[in-house]
Amino acid sequence: MPRRSFVVLAVACVVPVAAVTARPAAAAFTLEQVLGAPFPDQLAAARQGERVAWVMNRRGERNVWIADGPAFVPRQVTHYQGDDGQPLASLRLTPDGKTVLYVRGTEVNEAGESANPTSRAQAPKQQVWALAVDAGVAGKARPRLLGDMGCAEEGCEDVQVSPDGRQAVWAARHHLWLAPVAAPAAAGAPARQLNGLQGDSSEAQWSPDGKRLAFRLNRGDHAYVVVYDLATEGVTYLAPSVDRDELPRWSPDGSRLAFIREPSAAEKLPLIPEQPSPWSLWVGDPATGAAREIWRSSTGLEGSLSPFAGDSFYYGAGDRIVFASEQNAGGRNHLYSIPAAGGQPVELTPGDFDVEEAVMSPDGGSVLYSANEHGADPADEDRRHLWRVGVAGGSPRALTSGQGIEWSPVETGDGKAVLCLGASATTPAMPYRLAAGPGSAAASGAVPGVAAGAAPAPAGGRVPLAPDLVPADFPAAELVVPRQVVWQSADGLSIHGQLFLPRAAIGAGGAGGAAGSAAAGAAGPGALPALIFTHGGPVRQMLLGFHYMYYYHNSYAMNQYLASRGYVVLSINYRLGTMYGRAFREAPHAGWRGSAEYADVVSGAHYLQGLPQVDPGRIGLWGGSYGGLLTALGLARNSDLFKAGVDFHGIHDWSLLLPRGDGAAAPPPDLREARQLAFDSSPAAAVDSWRSPVLLIHGDDDRNVPFGQTRDLVQRLRDRAVTVEQLIFPDEIHDLLLWKDWVRSYRAAADFLSRTLQARPVP
């Protein structure tokens, strides 16, 4: 399931759905058009000056771009060509901004192989590269290979550049590797392995003077924070214990290290009860290894380590440590800071919202963060805006607002500019700069309201860096603005969704309606087929606009395409998703423990049945990864309700993913009961009642969901004479690497839904 790894034009459409009058359907746009906009990712800033860089994916052709202040005119600095399926990750700039470093290629599978989606005879490798961006003729120097990587988990790429910009370190093949950034006098000097310590080394962090490295050494059932001295090659363990230490962070002067400690797991714990993950903050002396605890969470579920912890842990100015915790009355993910000497933490971001990502300012005095604070506009709970708060506390200042979506903030090394990535309901993701200084009124990004039928207002305060990179045929004017809708699931839980109405249906009875209304069960004249979309993760949230992750940027585009083809589409943020608090994300009896989240899908179908635009007898569903699981659950348990579905690489039998109990370790005492519960929570358990047709899409080099999950389901459905169609991609992974495979998948999905739900034919 895709991790959490990824306008814009000068205008943004901000007309509420309910204010738009009905009009004839416009000419349909193509999938290639709506998927054709470039996708930016990994925005980074140099520590000095005003240079920023990012990776741009243009229809599968991935390259590094840079821009320099104050004008920030973008230029491409790498020149890879074609839809080759080789991603770029871990983009870094040297402190002076003169060199970019990046990883090209994917992580390796269990066989030690990087993905090869084009089925080349010579399989590609995952490698680390450096490029002097201002060197060569017209700035077109060739990238220099620093060494192989081949890390083994999704999102594991992590290159760290030394403070002087001369060396880079990364984890590969269980150890840390070091390479010079600039070309050495003797050409071809390879990266060298730093040590041969037992365990997996990762999370490397340079000391401020560049003479030492702190890193995590994972030995399976316990893990250490280790300091390595490059001159002496000596190592120091910080307060070694039986527990699991992680995320080392240097103090600005290099005299201390902060890190997080989690207890190691006890043996023979039962599987079914959910176990809390308490944690504590430690500060240690990297010279002696002495360390002490300065803060400890509660031992209950509310004190568990936040999934955002790694993206929000910093050692700031004033000897204060910034961290994320959900241990508050609302169970919301918030930022806190605490003196390194210990004491009472200060809550930096109070309120009924969640903080998702945070970055430290260059001077260490403040934190820039993204959140879904929604005090002024309830719909902002399904958006992202940017804020700044001091490390020592104070009132947060809004940097953006309005009906756009912003993420990945960075501040230039000289502190003169703040940039971010952003999108809206009708404009795809692009890099932005804020038009004025951080926290100023002009930088707030507020978008004035516009009356129905008026021209869209400019996105005030936000200036796109590369609007001309959006293809001329991108159908921004033909996209609809989805509406935030909220309804109650069967057990009373509030569920959020985004409702996409075809243009011809807008105004035909409005966007209202409720489950069980009088309209349900009777299709009116011109009633339309409807679709439910469920995201993957499941720790994800779909937004009221193009998404910050490439996978869901594409999903949002597909929902727009389906709406243009005459479907009413409801994208559901079901329980287990993020940004609605810990209790929502950690809902009981969900997942393999009972699939409680499936009730939210059913309630979404009932909501659709209550809309006058919807034919209640023509509701289908689609989704990928965890969304594929929910699609399969719908078809298996409720073929009476869901008439067709498209399942991208979904889980179909949870029990196959639980421990088998035949290993060396003692099995959990409730393994038999857990495996039965997991099976009963799976689509496979209800396959006897599956009647509706399904399209299954899967790459056979999937490193997230085993390909066998789809293979097994196909056999079960064949045995029961269920209509099954397949689209299998040899050598593709979970998050499809080739742009043409996204287009092919979505075209097949649209064609299948057209045939099974009797919509218009796909062009």
Instruction: Give the count of beta carbons closer than 10 Å to the beta carbon of residue 514.
Output: 15
Nearest by Cα to 396 from 362, 442, 346, 433: 346
| pLDDT confidence tier of residue 525, bands split at 50, 70 and 90 | low
| pLDDT confidence tier of residue 56, bands split at 50, 70 and 90 | very high
Residue 436: predicted pLDDT: 61
**C-alpha distances in Å from residue 174, one per residue of 108, 122, 195:** 13, 25, 10
Residue 584: predicted pLDDT: 97
- Listing DSSP states for 337-364 in one string gives EEETT--PPEESS-SSS-EEEEEE-TTS
| pLDDT confidence tier of residue 456, bands split at 50, 70 and 90 | very low
Of 400-404, 418-422, 627-631, the one with minimum mean pLDDT is: 400-404
Of 35-39, 461-465, 708-712, the one with minimum mean pLDDT is: 461-465
Q: Percent of the chain beyond pLDDT 70?
A: 88
The angle formed by the CA atoms of residues 665, 670 and 671, to the nearest 5 degrees, is 55
Read off the pLDDT of each residue in 429-454 and give the average, rounded to a whole number.
49
pLDDT over threshold 90, residue 497: yes
Q: Phi/psi of residue 744, each to 5°?
A: -65, -40
| pLDDT confidence tier of residue 763, bands split at 50, 70 and 90 | low
Residue 184: predicted pLDDT: 64
Asked if 36 contacts 494 with a C-beta cutoff of 8 angstroms, the reply is no
CA atoms within a 13 Å half-sphere pointing along the CA-CB vector of 639: 14
pLDDT over threshold 60, residue 721: yes
pLDDT over threshold 50, residue 520: no
Asked if 725 contacts 678 with a C-beta cutoff of 8 angstroms, the reply is no
| pLDDT confidence tier of residue 139, bands split at 50, 70 and 90 | low
Residue 509: predicted pLDDT: 45
Q: Which amino acid is at 638?
A: N
Within the chain, which residue ranges are assigned CATH 2.140.10.30? 17-469
Helix or strand run (H / E) with residue 81: none
Higher pLDDT, 45 or 510: 45
Q: Which amino acid is at 349?
A: T
Average pLDDT, the chain: 89
| pLDDT confidence tier of residue 461, bands split at 50, 70 and 90 | low
Residue 336: predicted pLDDT: 98
Within the chain, which residue ranges are assigned CATH 3.40.50.1820? 481-658+672-757
Asked if 219 contacts 202 with a C-beta cutoff of 8 angstroms, the reply is no
Read off the pLDDT of each residue in 474-503 and give the average, rounded to a whole number.
97
CA atoms within a 13 Å half-sphere pointing along the CA-CB vector of 491: 13
17-469 CATH pick, 3.30.70.20, 3.40.50.620, 3.40.50.2300, 2.140.10.30: 2.140.10.30
- Any idea which residue has 């990012």 for tokens? 54
Of 49-58, 135-144, 250-259, 337-346, the one with minimum mean pLDDT is: 135-144
Nearest by Cα to 736 from 709, 693, 704, 694: 704
| Paired sense of beta strands 614-624 and 645-648, if any | parallel
pLDDT over threshold 70, residue 443: no
pLDDT (tens digit, 9 = 90+) per residue, 346-401? 999 999 999 999 999 999 999 999 999 998 899 999 999 999 999 999 999 999 99
Residue 571: Cβ-neighbour burial (10 angstroms; 0-12, 13-18, 19+) = buried
| pLDDT confidence tier of residue 730, bands split at 50, 70 and 90 | very high
* N residues, the chain: 763
As a whole number of angstroms, the longest Cα–Cα distance in the chain is: 81
pLDDT over threshold 80, residue 218: yes
Residue 187: predicted pLDDT: 57
Residue 462: predicted pLDDT: 85
pLDDT over threshold 70, residue 578: yes
Residue 136: predicted pLDDT: 55
pLDDT (tens digit, 9 = 90+) per residue, 589-629? 999 999 999 999 999 999 999 999 999 999 999 999 999 99
Quote the CA–CA distance of 348 and 366 in Å, as a whole number: 10
| Paired sense of beta strands 528-534 and 568-573, if any | parallel
Whether the link from the prior residue into 70 is cis, omega within 30° of 0, is yes
481-658+672-757 CATH pick, 3.40.190.80, 3.30.420.10, 3.20.20.70, 3.40.50.1820: 3.40.50.1820
pLDDT (tens digit, 9 = 90+) per residue, 685-703? 999 999 999 999 999 999 9
Q: Which residues pair with 389 in a beta bridge?
A: 367
